[in-house]
Amino acid sequence: MALMAEIAAQAVQMLLVLAIAPLMLGITRKVKARLLRRIGPPIWQPYLDLWKLMHKEAVLAHNASWLYRTAPYLVFAATWVAAALVPTYATNLMFSWSADLIAIVALLGTGRFALALAGMDVGTAFGGIGSSREMLIASLAEPAMLLVVFTVALIAGTTQLSVIAETFIGGVGVRVSLGLALLAFVFIAVAENARIPIDNPATHLELTMVHEAMVLEYSGRHLAMIEAAAALKLMLYFSLLACLFFPFGMATKDQSEIALAIGLGSYLAKLVVLAALLPIGETAVAKMRVFRYPIFLGSAFAAAALAVFLLFVSRGGL
């Protein structure tokens, strides 16, 4: 019986992230539009888009292979699973131990791998540009991400997200290194989610496209899957940010209804705040040239490395 309950809790989380991911997208778009003095689409617009796309027939190039058709589902599944494994409103969900932070990052990598291949499948120049740049960004972001993981793992003594969250809720005091790690993490999240200044989700200008270029040929349900995956990814990074740096409010030991409710509420609140902050940041800066990515992500790397080394100092070694 308890087993069923736990499975239910896990299932709830899976559906939850899936359900509110497009909403986050909608909120960011809306806020952004307002900042640009536009009315902007309603915040549930993403749901409508997805629904529409799902019902359109998928148009495939003549030489599209089976890989092209399966990739969207793989990307979606990988991202969804990753998102579902991040503790959102409660820790110690039943499957949370089956993958730690590194595994979650790697799962996103699986999705990226599939998408990059799909981008090259029909053999267009745009697809190639997209895949190539996507892999470049990833290869620059990954080391920084690892160092962020390293920082939190050094404090929590593990890479297991639930445990990290619990440790931080237990209170580790304000640390410079955590601040730096946060900075680095934000940079990485921006890059990974193809947001300004790295990429612009709202453009089809070939010189600047990265993510959009990869998925240029997609249509119909496949495109829907990819869009959903992108939303889930954004969502995942929001949850990670919340869980790693602002875990307060999460339901940890006592899994009582109250605690769960508090956890859920605080979680949603955090998400909304983040979803509102992102476009503000985006409107503040301008899109970068491709060959300035290294500098952007390099600074993320530097911040993360600094975080690690400061940690030694602040602790005088472990």
Partner 1 sequence: MPVVVGLWCVAGFIAIAAVAIAIGRFSRASALIYGASLLVSLAALAFGLQHLIGAGFPDMVDYPLGVPGIGAHFRLDALSAFFLVVINLGGAAASLYAIGYGRHEIAPLRVLPFFPAYLGGMNLVLLADDAFSFLVAWEFMSLTSWALVLANHRAPENVRAGYIYLVMAGFGTLSLLLAFGLLAGPDGSYAFESIRASHPVPFVAALTLLLTLLGAGSKAGLVPLHVWLPLAHPAAPSHVSALMSGVMTKVAVYGFIRIAFDLLGEPVWWWSLIVLAIGAITAVIGILYALMQRDIKRLLAYSTVENIGIVFIGLGLALAFRANKMELPAALALTAALFHVLNHSLYKSLLFFGAGAVLTATGKRSLEDLGGLIHRMPNTAIVVLIGCAAISALPPLNGFVSEWMIFQAILVGPQLPQWGLRFMVPTVGALLALSAALTAACFVKAYGVMFLGRPRTPAAEAATDADRFSLSAMFILAAFCFCAGVLPGLVIDILAPVAQSLLGARMPVQVHLPFSLAWASILPIAESRSSYNGFIILAFLVISGTFTAMFIHRFATRATRRSAIWDCGYPDPSVATQYSSSSFVMPIRRVFGATVFDVRRSLDMPRPGETRPGSFHLKVWDPVWRYFYGPVARLVLRSATVLNQLQFLTIRRYLTLVFATLILLLMVVAAWR
Looking at residues 236 to 275 of the shown chain, list those that interact with partner 1 (rule: CB under 8 A).
Answer: none
* C-beta of residue 158 within 8 angstroms of C-beta of residue 170: no
CB of 220 to partner 1, least distance (A): 8
Residues touching partner 1: how many (CB under 8 A)?
92
Q: Which listed residue (138, 189, 250, 275) binds partner 1 by CB under 8 A?
A: 138
Of 29 and 221, which CB lies nearer to partner 1 in the complex structure?
221
* C-beta of residue 240 within 8 angstroms of C-beta of residue 79: no
Binding-site string for partner 1 from residue 40 to residue 79, where x marks contact by CB under 8 A and - marks none: --------------xxxxxxxxxxxxxx-----xx-xxx-
Q: Find out whether the peptide bond into 143 is cis, omega within 30 degrees of 0.
A: no
Of 31 and 215, which CB lies nearer to partner 1 in the complex structure?
215
Does 133 engage in binding with partner 1 (CB under 8 A)?
yes
**In this chain, which stretch among 30-38, 111-119, 245-253, 264-272 interacts with partner 1, using CB under 8 A?**
111-119
Beta bridge mates, 251: 90
Does 318 engage in binding with partner 1 (CB under 8 A)?
yes
Packing angle, helices 66-85 and 2-35, rounded to 10? 100
CB of 163 to partner 1, least distance (A): 5
Q: Identify the CA nearest to 193 among candidates 267, 83, 89, 52.
A: 83
Q: How far is CA 69 from CA 63, 80, 118, 227, 228, in A?
A: 11, 18, 8, 15, 16
Q: Within its chain, how far is the Cα of 48 from the centroid?
A: 22
Q: Within its chain, how far is the Cα of 13 from the centroid?
A: 16
Which 3 state secondary structure label does DSSP give 251?
Answer: strand
**In this chain, which stretch among 32-40, 136-144, 260-268, 278-286 interacts with partner 1, using CB under 8 A?**
136-144
Does 131 engage in binding with partner 1 (CB under 8 A)?
yes
Q: Identify the CA nearest to 179 among candidates 28, 317, 314, 24.
A: 314
DSSP-derived secondary structure for 142-186: HHHHHHHHHHHHHHHSS--HHHHHHHHHH-----HHHHHHHHHHH
Q: Residues 288 to 307: which contact partner 1 by CB under 8 A?
A: 290-291, 294, 301, 305
Does 216 engage in binding with partner 1 (CB under 8 A)?
yes
Q: Which listed residue (12, 142, 260, 276) binds partner 1 by CB under 8 A?
A: 142
Of 158 and 255, which CB lies nearer to partner 1 in the complex structure?
158
Separation of alpha carbons 112 and 104, rounded Å: 13
Of 40 and 143, which CB lies nearer to partner 1 in the complex structure?
143
DSSP letter assigned to residue 208: T
End-to-end CA distance of the chain: 42
CB of 146 to partner 1, least distance (A): 4
Does 316 engage in binding with partner 1 (CB under 8 A)?
no
Residue type at position 102 = I
**In this chain, which stretch among 155-163, 168-176, 238-246, 261-269 interacts with partner 1, using CB under 8 A?**
155-163
CB of 278 to partner 1, least distance (A): 24
**In this chain, which stretch among 20-28, 41-49, 140-148, 276-284 interacts with partner 1, using CB under 8 A?**
140-148
CB of 120 to partner 1, least distance (A): 3
